Amino acid sequence: MRKMQFILLCGLVLLVGPSASAQSVTWSAPQNVTGASNVLTGNIFEAYGFGPGGLASTTINGVTFSPFDATDLYSTTFGNLTLTSGAVVGGASVGAFSSLSAPFTGLPSDYQLLLGSSAYTDCVSCSAPLDVTLSGLTIGTAYEIEVWVNDSRGTVGPYRTETLSGTTPATLDFNTGTEGGVGQYVIGTFTAGAPTESFAITGVDCCGATFPNTASQINGIEVLTPEPSTMTLLGLGVLALAFLGRRQSGPVRSA
């Protein structure tokens, strides 16, 4: 019995692989917002839209984003997500970053709600990064993150940006055009080496912005865990059947 348990354990280790050490998020290239299909689907760990108290939940591409109340605090936690900054983290009112012009108006209504409000650092003339911390993670598990930033007001233009820290940092545009222009989203991956993982959002006052603004902002976030691969499930099933077969086939007793 002990020998079979040891063999089973070794098989599991070979199939699953060694636990990864802690690492920062690796971000892909940012993409312009286009429609509901931007939203990843799968095993949702956390998904939030940001704004003041009274913000409603939104559902996009089958994913429900719960409201995260960011109302004038230096640190705010909901579920397994914490926002922290050296400046006050405020919640932009519903629709504050919306527009009555296309392409923003061509987005699904719930997508407009998600992108129309945000959490941001109340700091327009200083550098105040917004730290995003995920908790409750399972060590050795791979996670996928998607983050959105948007400001579709005509006063912003295409010049306001912010950078997300990580193994490969990402720089996102708040607006890809003028009035009604949309922002961007980016997808990142990491394997948890600890129960928490953090990254920083740093606003940039860049090259001809309509108004000086280094506020850091987040309009939406979702975190996913991968579904077990077919080969892993198949391998576990084979090991389980072998274990059960060995238990049932005991020594044959003579009459």
pTM listed for this prediction: 0.81
Alpha-carbon gap, residue 222 to 42, rounded angstroms? 11
Closest CA to 161 of 147, 178, 175: 175
In this structure, how many other beta carbons lie within 10 angstroms of the beta carbon of residue 6? 10
CATH 2.60.120 correct for 31-228: yes
Tens of pLDDT, residue by residue, the chain (255 residues): 433 443 333 333 333 333 333 459 999 999 999 999 999 999 999 999 999 988 999 999 999 999 999 987 899 999 999 999 988 888 888 899 999 999 999 999 999 999 999 999 876 656 689 999 999 999 999 999 999 999 998 766 667 889 999 999 999 999 988 889 999 999 999 999 999 999 999 988 655 555 556 789 999 999 999 876 543 444 455 455 555 555 555 554 554
